[in-house]
Structure formats: structure tokens, C-alpha cells
Amino acid sequence: MQVIFGGTFDPVHSGHLAMLSAVCETFSEALVRVMPNGDPPHRQVNASASQRVEMLRLAMPAHPRVILDTREVGSAGPRYTVDTLAAMRDEYGPDESLVFCLGRDAAAGLLSWGHPERVLDFAHLCIMHRAGHLELPAEVSALWSHTYVSENALCTAPFGRVCELKTPDVPVSSTQVRALVAAGQFPLPVPTVIADYIRDHGLYLDTE
């Protein structure tokens, strides 16, 4: 079983780390891949991809089942999640359970992704609670209304199912971290090593 925790991580923060820990605990047999995106097709990033990767390297817990997967970084041109999942399906074969994890805010924005309906042809979706995002828009939940299951059921099929995970409320976002840096307000809700990296590299000082 392979669990993918994708994101921009601009920068990685305590909310990401809490979700990572919840996902590791829930899928206790799985390999968990933290997968930063390259240049996302639908949003601007502030730190470079190599800086975002470096921050993840510094912040991620040393855990035998957690790995940093940089396959999306440096790939030429826009890369959609569905393409990555299709490539992983080819790589790991038809029987491996693949789970793509995302917060409720990201799930709510799924309709703006390239081919959102095809995600379930390759992987399961695990939707994590996120403070301040109570409901999925009806048109998004309608995409999968027949496929909702408990998280345990993701282990017993390779793809095509959706679960909602009751992750802890950690009301932190990268947007908030960038705004705090720009306003000179400390401490930041990130590990000390990341606060140091942000300061040493002069990141986010001119965030609007």
C-alpha cells in the first residue's frame, strides 16, 4: 500500500506535520510518500521548488515508512496529479493500493484540477479534515457519492474509493506563515529548523 501526501509545502508547517502523523498512524502498514509539486498549473509559489524540497527534508520526521518523493519536481511543464497517479499505477501494477491524501480545502477545489473524475481510476482519495472547511461543495461530493467507505476499506482494493479521515484541527496554513513573515510577526507555526531556514534564505519577506 502506498499513501501519497502531495502539496506545495510553501513552506511546510505544523498542520502538514500533524496530518502526516495522522496518516501514518491510520495506514499503519503503508509506505507514505510526501510529494511536493513542481510548478503547479493552477497557483503561484513563493519559494523555489528546491527550497520547498529542502525545507521538507529538514522538517520530515525520520520514520522508516515515510519518504520524500520528488518525482513531480523538475518535470517539464505543468503536471497534473492524475498524471502522476496514472504513472504510479503503471509502476506498481494493478493490485497495489494507492491512496492520495488531501485536505478538505484541496478536495473542494478538485473541479479545477485536470480530469478530477479520473483520479479514482488510479487511486483512492483520503480527505483530511481541515480547520475552517466544514463541508465539501455538493458538486464535488456528487462526483463520488457512491464510493464513500471507512479508511480500513482502502487497504482491500487498489483504487476507486473515498474516505474522510477525522484528522485533528490544526488551524495553520502556508499562506498564514508567509503573511506572518512579511509582517515580521514571530514565532511562526513551523518547526524551529524551518523558521531558521526561512530567515537565513530571506524567504517570504515581500509576500503581499
Please state, as a whole number, how many other Cβ atoms lie within 10 Å of the Cβ of residue 21: 16
Nearest distance, CB of residue 95 and ligand ATP, angstroms: 26
Could you give the CA distance from residue 135 to residue 200 in angstroms, rounded to a whole number? 39
Residue whose CB is nearest to ligand ATP in the complex, by number: 103
Q: Which residues lie closer than 8 Å to 145 by C-beta, 6 or more apart? A: none
Told to check if 170 binds ligand ATP by CB under 6 A, we report yes
Beta strands 98-103 and 66-68, pairing class = unpaired
Stretch that binds ligand ATP, among 2-10, 69-77, 81-89, 144-152 (CB under 6 A): 2-10
Nearest distance, CB of residue 94 and ligand ATP, angstroms: 26
How far CA 93 is from CA of 65, 101, 120, 162, in Å, comes to 20, 20, 15, 20
**What's the count of helices (H) and strands (E) in the chain, helices before strands?**
8, 6
Nearest distance, CB of residue 110 and ligand ATP, angstroms: 10
Name the β-bridge partners of 32.
3, 66
Stretch that binds ligand ATP, among 11-19, 90-98, 183-191, 192-200 (CB under 6 A): 11-19
Nearest distance, CB of residue 202 and ligand ATP, angstroms: 18
- Per-residue contact flags (x/-) with ligand ATP for residues 34 to 73, judged by CB under 6 A: ----------------------------------------
Q: Rg for the chain (alpha carbons), in Å?
A: 17
Stretch that binds ligand ATP, among 6-14, 64-72, 137-145, 184-192 (CB under 6 A): 6-14
CA angle 28, 128, 76 (to 5 degrees): 90
Nearest distance, CB of residue 107 and ligand ATP, angstroms: 8
Q: Which residues lie closer than 8 Å to 48 by C-beta, 6 or more apart? A: none
According to CB under 6 A, which one of 2, 8, 84, 97 is a site residue for ligand ATP? Answer: 8
Of residues 68 through 127, those in contact with ligand ATP by CB under 6 A are: 102-103, 105-106
Q: Whose Cβ is closer to ligand ATP: residue 113's or residue 148's?
A: 113
Cβ atoms 38, 76 nearer than 8 A:
no
